[in-house]
Structure 1
Amino acid sequence: MATDIPNLTKVPQGARLDESYRLKRAKKAALAAFLGGMLEYYDFFIYATAASLVFSHIFFPEGNATVSLMASFATFGVAYVARPFGAVVFGHLGDRLGRKNTLVLTLMLMGGATFSIGLLPTFGQVGYIAPGLLVLLRLLQGLSAGAETAGSSTLTMEESPVGRRGFFPSFAMSGISAGIVLASLVFIPVAAMDEAARFAWGWRIPFLLSVVVMVVAMLVRRSLEEPEVFEDEVKAQASGKEKEKAPFLVMLKTHPAQFVQISLMSFQCVTNTLMQAFGLAYAVSVGIPAATMLVVSIAGNIIAIFSQPFSAYLSDRFGRRPIFIAGIMASGLLIWVYFWSISTANIALIFVTSIAITAGSYAVSNAVYPAWFSELFNVKVRYSGVAIGLQVGILCAGFTPMLATALVGQVPSNYGPAAWIVAGSSIVAAIGAIWARETYKTPLSELGNPVD
C-alpha cells in the first residue's frame, strides 16, 4: 500500500494512536479473531460430527448402540469440564502477561491436540487405552477453548474504535461459522464413504488437516500488538502500583454481579451445541442422510458469516440488550419447529428452520456477546471475567447432547425434551441480559467497576 502506517514500536511513549492506525489495528485483531474462531470451531465441529457418526463404533466396545453413542457424546462433553480450568489459567495469564502471547499459546494447544486425535489407535487395536487417549486429548482441547473466544473478543474489543466495539469483535463469531462450514465441507466426502473405509481411515483426514488452519492463524496472531488500554495499565503498575496477583479473585470481589450476569447469558450457546451435535445424530436416527444435514449446516453458517457482523452493527446502533434478547427468544421458539421438521423428515422445512436459527436468531445473540461480555469488566480483570463466566453456560451445553440422547431415546416423535433444553436455556440467558448493564455508549476507560 502507498500509505505509510507507523510501526507501534516507533510511536512515542504515551502518545495516542491516530484513528486511521487504530482502525488498522482493529481490522488486524478482527482477522486474528476470525482465524482463531475458525480453528476452534473447525476442531469443535469435526469432533462433534465424528462423535455422532464414528467414535461410538471405533473407540468403544460393541453392544447397545444408544449406550455407545452416549459414551461417545460423553467424550465430547468432557472437554467442557476442562474449559473452566483453562479459563482460570489462561485468563490469569491474559490479564497479567498480555492478551497476545496467551492467545498464541491457546492456539498451539488446540491445534496440536486436534492433529493428535487423527493419529490415535482404535479400541480394536489397543482396547481401553484408545478412549483414554481420546479423553486426554479432548481435555487439552477444552483447556485451550476455555480462553480462546474470551481472549480474542477482549483483545478485539479493546482495539476497536468508538461506536464500532460491537462490530469488530463479532468476527470471532463469523470465524466460528466459517470453521463449521470448513469442517462440514471436509466431512461430507468422509460421510459419503462406505462404512468400512470411514471407520478405518476416512475419519482421520479432517483431524489431520487442522494443521493447515493452525499455521495460517498462528502467522496472523503472532503479528498482533497488545491493546493500548492494556499497555497503559501495565505502565501504571510498573510506575508503582502493585500488579494484581490473582485477577480471578479480584474479579469475583469487584464484579460479582457481572460475573453472574454473563454466566446466565452464556446459556445462549446451548442452541448451537445441541443443534450441531445431537441434531445430527437425531436426524440420522430417523433416516435422514448425514450428508444432507451437513449441507444444511453449511448453508446456515455461510449466511451467518455475514449476518453476525450485521447484527453486531445493529447493537452498536441500538444497544446490546435488545438485540441479544430478540435473538435468544426467537431461538427458543424456532427450535420446536426445527426438531419437529427432523422428526417428520421434512427436508425443505429442515433447511428453512435451520437457516432461520443458525443465520438468524442464534447469529443475532451470538454476535453481540463478544463485545458485551468484555464491556462489563474493568481492563484489569477483563480476560478472566469473560473467560470464566462464559464457561458456565458452555460447560452445561457440552453435556446437553448426551442428556438429550438419554431423554429422547430411540423414539423419533419424542423430541420435546431436546427442544425444552434449548427453550429453557434461552429463558435463563434472557434473565441475565435483562439484569446486565447496557454498555454500547460507555467510553472504553469507564467500562466495568473500579479495581483499586
Structure 2
Amino acid sequence: MAIPTDRSSLTNRTRIIFASLVGTTIEFFDFYIYATAAVSVFPLLFFPRGDAGAALLASMATFGVAFVARPIGSILFGHFGDRLGRKATLIGSLLLMGIATFLIGLLPTYQQIGLFAPVLLTILRFCQGLGLGGEWSGAALLAAENAEPGKRARAAMWPQLGAPIGFILANGFFLLLTLGFQYDSTSATHQDDFLVWGWRIPFLLSIVMVALGLYVRVKLHETPIFAKAVERGEKLRLPLLHVMRNNGYELLIGTFIMLATYGLFYLMTTWILSYAIGSTELGFLGIGYRDFLVLQLISVLFFAAFIPLSGQLADRYGRRNFLRTVTAAIMLFGLTFGHFLAAENLGTGAQANTGLLLLFLSLGMTLMGLSFGPMSAILPELFPTNTRYTGSGISYNLSSILGAALTPFVATWLAREYGPGSVGLYLAGLGVLTFIALTLCKESTHTDLDAMTSDIVTTGIESSSP
C-alpha cells in the first residue's frame, strides 16, 4: 500500500479534506431531507389518517430507526475500514446511503399500497442509518490521520462541517420547493402538488451529489497512519472482538462524550420543527412551516461558523477542558427552554415572537458548533489504529441511539404532557452524563495516533487475532 511522499503530502491532505467534507455533506444532506420530511410530509402520506399527534409520533419512530441501524453500520463498515482501509470502505457507505435515499423518492404512499408504504419507508430509513454509521468515522479518520502535529482538531473539523452544510442544503431545498409550490403546512391537503410529487425532488436529485462524492473519493490515497500499521503487520482479523475485549472503557466513555451533542442537535432541528409548526390544539405553536424554516436556516449558520473556532480552541486548550466548558453551557441552556418556548411568552401562530425564537435557535446552534467540532478528533484519539475505525464509529453511533433516536420522540411526548420546560431539563440531564464522561476521560490532545497500539499488538497479529 503506497504512502504519499513528502512532496505530495500537502496535495493529498488537501484532497482528503475536500473529500471528507464533500462526503459528509452528501451523507448529512440525505439524512436531513428525511428528517425534514418526517415532520412535514410523512405523517400525512405514509401513515393511516386519524389522530395527527399519533401520526407524528409514528413518523418520529421511523426517523429513529436509522439510529438503531447506525451502530450496526459502524460495526459492518468499521470491520472493513480497519481491514481494507479507509478509502474503499467510505465508497461503500456512500453508495448505500445514496441508493436508499434515491429509492425513498420513488416510494408509493399509504393511500396507494396501504401498510406496505410505512414498512418500505422504514426499511430504506434503516439502510440510510447503515450508510451513515460507516460514513462518519471513516471521514473523521481521513482528516485526523493526515493532520499536522498539534493541529489535529483543526484538521478533523472539516468533516464536521458537512453536518451544517448538508442541513442548509436539505432544508434550503425544501424551503425553495414550498415557495415554488406555494405550500402551506397549516392548511395542507393531500391534493397539494407538493405532497403529490414535489417532496420527492430532493430525494431523487441526491443521486447527482452521490455521483460527485464517488468521483472525489475514488481519487484518494490511503491514510499514511493506516498504511504504516499494515506494513507493521498490525491488521486484525476481527477488529470488533478486539475492541470489545481491550477497549470497552473507551467505548463507554466515547459514547457518553457524544451524548449531549446529539441531544442538543436533534432538539434544535427535528423536535423544535415539530413543536413550532404543530397545531395549537395539540399544545404546539402553530407557526407556518416556511416561516419557521427561514429562522432555522439562519440559526444553522451559527452552527457552521463555530465549528472551525471549536477546532482551534480544542487544540489550544485541550479537548477535555474545552468540551467540559461547552457542556456546562449546554446544561444551563437547557434550563432556559421554559422561558423561551412557553406559549405565553413566545406566542403562537402569526402572533409568535420570531425574534425570541431566532435567539433561542441561534444560542442552541452556537453551542452545537462548539460541541460538535472537536468530536472527530477526541473519539479517534481513544483507539489504536487497527481498531480506530470500529471503535470511534461504535462510540459515535451508540450515542446516536441514546442522544438522538430517543430524543425527538421523548421530547414530543414531554412537550405535550409537561410543556417545553421539561424538554430543557431532559437536555440538561444528558449534559450531566456527558460532563461526567469528559471528567473521566484522559486528555488526548498530544496523543501520537501512529504510536498508539493495543498492549497485545505484535508483528503478525492477524494470524493470531481472535
Cα 1:339/1:142, change in 2 over 3 Å: farther
Corresponding residue of 2:326: 327
Q: Say whether the 8 Å CA contact 1:320–1:440 is kept in structure 2.
A: yes
Q: Which moved more, 1:23-32 or 1:338-347?
A: 338-347
Q: CA RMSD in A?
A: 1.8
The Cα of 1:339 is off from its aligned counterpart by 6.0
Corresponding residue of 2:461: none
Q: Which moved more, 1:183-192 or 1:218-227?
A: 183-192
Corresponding residue of 2:349: none
Cα 1:400/1:303, change in 2 over 3 Å: closer
The Cα of 1:21 is off from its aligned counterpart by 3.6
Corresponding residue of 1:337: 336
Corresponding residue of 1:89: 76
- Among candidates 232, 237, 243, match of residue 245 of structure 1: 237
Give the number of aligned pairs. 432
1:294-443 alignment runs, 5 A limit: 294-338=293-337, 340-343=339-342, 344=346, 345-358=352-365, 360-396=366-402, 397-409=404-416, 414-443=419-448
SS at match of 2:273: helix
Identity %: 34
The residue type paired with residue 266 of structure 2 is T
Cα 1:392/1:303, change in 2 over 3 Å: same
Corresponding residue of 1:3: none
Alpha-carbon distance in 1 for matches of 2:83, 2:338: 45
- Cα deviation, 1:66-122, whole Å, max 9, x if unaligned, reads 111000001100111111111111100100011100001000111111111011000
Corresponding residue of 1:272: 265
The Cα of 1:399 is off from its aligned counterpart by 2.3
The Cα of 1:31 is off from its aligned counterpart by 1.3
- Cα deviation, 1:394-438, whole Å, max 9, x if unaligned, reads 0121121112112222x6x71123212221111111111111111
SS at match of 1:203: helix
The Cα of 1:449 is off from its aligned counterpart by 4.3
Alpha-carbon distance in 2 for matches of 1:451, 1:220: 37
* TM-score between both structures, scaled by the size of structure 1: 0.91
* TM-score between both structures, scaled by the size of structure 2: 0.89
Corresponding residue of 1:226: 222
The Cα of 1:448 is off from its aligned counterpart by 5.9
The Cα of 1:304 is off from its aligned counterpart by 2.8
1:283 corresponds to 2:270: no
Alpha-carbon distance in 1 for matches of 2:81, 2:74: 10
Alpha-carbon distance in 1 for matches of 2:447, 2:439: 18
Q: Say whether the 8 Å CA contact 1:270–1:393 is kept in structure 2.
A: no
1:143 corresponds to 2:130: yes
Q: Say whether the 8 Å CA contact 1:34–1:174 is kept in structure 2.
A: yes
Cα 1:418/1:90, change in 2 over 3 Å: same
Corresponding residue of 2:282: none
Corresponding residue of 2:198: 202
The Cα of 1:210 is off from its aligned counterpart by 1.2
- Cα deviation, 1:234-262, whole Å, max 9, x if unaligned, reads 1222xxx6x41111111122222211110
Q: Which moved more, 1:390-399 or 1:81-90?
A: 390-399
Alpha-carbon distance in 2 for matches of 1:61, 1:259: 40
The residue type paired with residue 205 of structure 1 is I
Alpha-carbon distance in 1 for matches of 2:98, 2:231: 33
Corresponding residue of 2:168: 181
* Structure 1 runs, 4 residues or longer, greater than 6 Å off: none
Corresponding residue of 2:154: 167
Q: Say whether the 8 Å CA contact 1:266–1:392 is kept in structure 2.
A: no
SS at match of 2:153: coil
Corresponding residue of 1:5: none
- Cα deviation, 1:342-401, whole Å, max 9, x if unaligned, reads 33232112212211221x211111001101100111001100000111122101211211
The Cα of 1:180 is off from its aligned counterpart by 0.4
Cα 1:336/1:37, change in 2 over 3 Å: farther
SS at match of 1:444: coil
Q: Say whether the 8 Å CA contact 1:325–1:365 is kept in structure 2.
A: no
Alpha-carbon distance in 2 for matches of 1:427, 1:215: 42
5+ residue gaps, structure 1: 1-7
Alpha-carbon distance in 2 for matches of 1:449, 1:432: 22
Cα 1:152/1:348, change in 2 over 3 Å: same
Alpha-carbon distance in 2 for matches of 1:291, 1:71: 23
Alpha-carbon distance in 2 for matches of 1:336, 1:184: 28
The residue type paired with residue 76 of structure 1 is F
1:115 corresponds to 2:102: yes
Alpha-carbon distance in 2 for matches of 1:98, 1:168: 20
Alpha-carbon distance in 2 for matches of 1:28, 1:339: 46
